[in-house]
Structure 1
Amino acid sequence: MPRPEGILALLDSRSFSSIWFWVILTLAWTMAGRRVLGVPWDVVAGAGRITSGPKDDPAAINLLDWLSLTLPRWRIDSREGAILLGMGSFLLTTLATLGFVYGLEMAQALVLLILPFALLFALDLRLARRLRQVLAQAEVGQPVNEAGAEAARLMRRHRVLILGLSILSVAVAAFYGAIWMITHPFGF
């Protein structure tokens, strides 16, 4: 059985001065901006140039096909949502307590890494709910070009939110990491 001192020593390892923390942070946000709900950005960008007309635009059809494949993965019922919210809140509260009350550097770094992604997950769920409505309207007779243009508009706005959140979270992590390293030059 692992001893509590060993677990706390692992959590207290150096994070902000490690290149691996910054590589993981950068890679995570880079990958988050490449897709919106699992749809590649070039598909969304192609659907952004849809022209209205009597003929269905292939870019709109392509985007709506991608959405019909990816949106079912973003469906969470109330029971699953309550479990996810409870477990996520427990994890973040535990890490925040260990990091900011007890001063463990690794826990602080994990909070700065996980908390923005928890917010991004909530924004993704909200977007998925809106896109399900757009897809349902397209299935009952709304013109494909209008549905594709609306979906592309919502996804472009969401990508701007992702980019803003990524810039803010990296800036906050860099600022906090710099202050941590200045105030703790020897790691303790």
Structure 2
Amino acid sequence: MELFQLIDEMIDLRSFSNLWFWIMLAVAWSSASHWIVGVPNDMTARARKQPDLYMAELETLVRIHMRRRLYIMRTSGMWIVGFGCFLLSGLAVLGFWFAVEFAQAVFVIALPMSIVALINLKTAHHIEMTDAHGEPLLRALGLCRFLVQVVGVISIFVTAMWGMYQNLSIGAL
């Protein structure tokens, strides 16, 4: 019977008291702030330190990811936005109206990640419109990373507060 209890604890749907949820949250935000418009941050840092060696590679990779994201949004963006809003509103109703903690946990990750996706898309559009190269490209990627990190800090704070509230209110029952 101890094996089933261990499995039940590992796959517990009470997410805010589960270590795996917090690990997942940390990995999600670490990845979101590392991959800006599909480009890893270390590549941006290398291009900033040694532009003559790495700037051409960075510009090529940014153009590939920028065009890919913009093409997807131009061809099927309305469907993606509609489906995303449907999922987010379904999670919100399940989580906060019907008090399903697992839906709350997914919602507090998915909503800010959709904001991050919009920030990345807006940055890709800005890079395309201004045809940014060199320093302006680095500034655009840096600003995008900063905005993603601001959203991440706010999101982690709100998630931690909501998680503590959930754990305290469930513990009081």
With the length of structure 1 as denominator, give the TM-score of the two structures: 0.78
CA offsets 1:40-86 (integer angstroms, 9 cap, x no match) = 212212333578xxxxx333322212212222221134451110111
Choose which of 83, 90, 98 in structure 2 pairs with 1:102: 98
Q: How does 1:34-45 map to 2 (within 5 A)?
A: 34-45=34-45
Aligned equivalents of 1:46, 1:24: Cα separation in 2: 28
Are residues 1:62 and 2:57 paired?
yes
- Consecutive unaligned residues of structure 1, counting only runs of 5 or more, are 1-11, 52-56, 138-146
Letter in 2 for 1:35: W
Are residues 1:155 and 2:141 paired?
yes
CA offsets 1:74-113 (integer angstroms, 9 cap, x no match) = 1134451110111011111111011111111111111101
Larger helix share, 1 or 2:
2
Aligned equivalents of 1:39, 1:79: Cα separation in 2: 22
- Consecutive unaligned residues of structure 2, counting only runs of 5 or more, are 1-11
Superposed CA RMSD in Å reads 2.1
2:109 corresponds in structure 1 to: 113
Letter in 2 for 1:20: W
Are residues 1:127 and 2:113 paired?
no
Letter in 2 for 1:97: V
With the length of structure 2 as denominator, give the TM-score of the two structures: 0.84
Choose which of 155, 168, 171 in structure 2 pairs with 1:182: 168
Aligned equivalents of 1:77, 1:39: Cα separation in 2: 18
Contact 2:32 2:116 in 1 (8 A): no
- How much has 1:133 moved relative to structure 2? 2.7
2:8 corresponds in structure 1 to: none
Contact 1:39 1:67 in 2 (8 A): yes
Contact 2:16 2:167 in 1 (8 A): yes
Contact 2:119 2:148 in 1 (8 A): no
Q: Secondary structure at the match of 1:16?
A: helix
Aligned equivalents of 2:18, 2:27: Cα separation in 1: 15
Aligned equivalents of 1:133, 1:42: Cα separation in 2: 25
- Rg larger in structure: 1
Aligned equivalents of 1:43, 1:134: Cα separation in 2: 21
Q: How does 1:5-84 map to 2 (within 5 A)?
A: 13-49=13-49, 57-75=52-70, 76-78=72-74, 80-84=76-80
- How much has 1:185 moved relative to structure 2? 1.3
Larger relative contact order, structure 1 or 2 (CA cutoff 8 Å, min sep 6): 1
